Amino acid sequence: MNNIDRIDWEKCNHLLPVIVQDSHTLAVLMHAYMNREALELSLSTGYAHYFSRTKQRIWKKGETSGHTQKINTFLLDCDNDTLLLQVDQLGVACHTGRESCFFTDFSTMQTTMEVAIDTTQTYGVVEQLYHTILEKKKADPSTSYTAQLLSKGQNGYLKKVIEEAGEFTFAVKDNNTKEMVYEAADLLYHTLVAMADKGVAPDLVRQELARRFGMGGLEEKAARKK
């Protein structure tokens, strides 16, 4: 039997939970998922590849940041439905720039780990903003505009999307470059709030735009109707 076939794929709904541990310190770095293809890539290359439920695609850890994970050991649990990786972590494991993704004390909700590497430029401002919005979903609405906006529900934030789109069009009609930039930023932010509330990652938009390259606009619109 192929080792990959030993995994109880049915039990884990074809997404294998993976716990990642530093080979040297044994600190738990992160939790992720692998589908069959991601596991095959990880085994064949020796570097961690995962399946992103948010982005709906396979990604190599560090593909953007360069913070790769070289796998030293694959350990399968007794139920054949969870994997433990022991890795050499280059850089940091968390997109926030912290060494581990586990940095919040659940009893106090206080941050227990400082940022080790500034990843703002690494991931790009849109991705960073999206993750910041996700973090603010559970914040106090009295101290966070994002949390306040989300607390108003779908109609509340969609009203702002429409409002900002209107203000952007007026800036265009007035040929006001400065206002166009301001309003476009506001529109993007409020659009990301709506996407975050629905769990739609910006990477999905990037993938769709990439798919459309080499396809004419009329052709693309016609394809949607099929």
Could you give the percent of the chain with pLDDT greater than 90? 76
Q: Is the confidence at residue 223, as pLDDT, over 90?
A: no
What pLDDT score does 226 carry? 57
What pLDDT score does 29 carry? 98
Structural domains of the chain sorted by starting position, each given as residue range(s) with its CATH number in brackets: 3-121 (3.10.20.810), 124-224 (1.10.287.1080)
Q: Is the confidence at residue 170, as pLDDT, over 70?
A: yes
Strand ranges in the chain using DSSP code E only, listed in sequence order = 16-22, 28-34, 49-52, 57-60, 69-76, 83-89, 104-105, 110-111
Which residues make Cβ contacts (< 8 Å) with residue 11, sequence separation at least 6?
Answer: 79, 80, 81
**How sure is the predictor about 49, in pLDDT bands with cuts at 50, 70 and 90?**
very high
Contact 62, 87 (CB under 8 A): no
Contact 19, 83 (CB under 8 A): yes
Q: Is the confidence at residue 13, as pLDDT, over 80?
A: yes
Q: Is the confidence at residue 138, as pLDDT, over 90?
A: no
Could you give the percent of the chain with pLDDT greater than 70? 94
Q: Is the confidence at residue 1, as pLDDT, over 60?
A: no
- CA–CA dist 25, 71 (Å, integer): 14
What pLDDT score does 172 carry? 97
Q: Would strands 16-22 and 83-89 be described as parallel, antiparallel, or unpaired?
A: parallel
> Cα–chain-centroid distance for residue 84?
21
What pLDDT score does 96 carry? 87
Which tokens belong to 63? 């593909």
What pLDDT score does 38 carry? 97
Range with the poorest average pLDDT among 55-64, 93-102, 115-124, 127-136: 115-124
Contact 33, 49 (CB under 8 A): no
What pLDDT score does 86 carry? 98
Instruction: Find the DSSP H helices in 33-144.
Output: 36-45, 120-123, 125-136
Closest residue by Cα to residue 35 from 20, 19, 56, 50: 50
**How sure is the predictor about 222, in pLDDT bands with cuts at 50, 70 and 90?**
low
- CA–CA dist 96, 103 (Å, integer): 10
**How sure is the predictor about 127, in pLDDT bands with cuts at 50, 70 and 90?**
confident
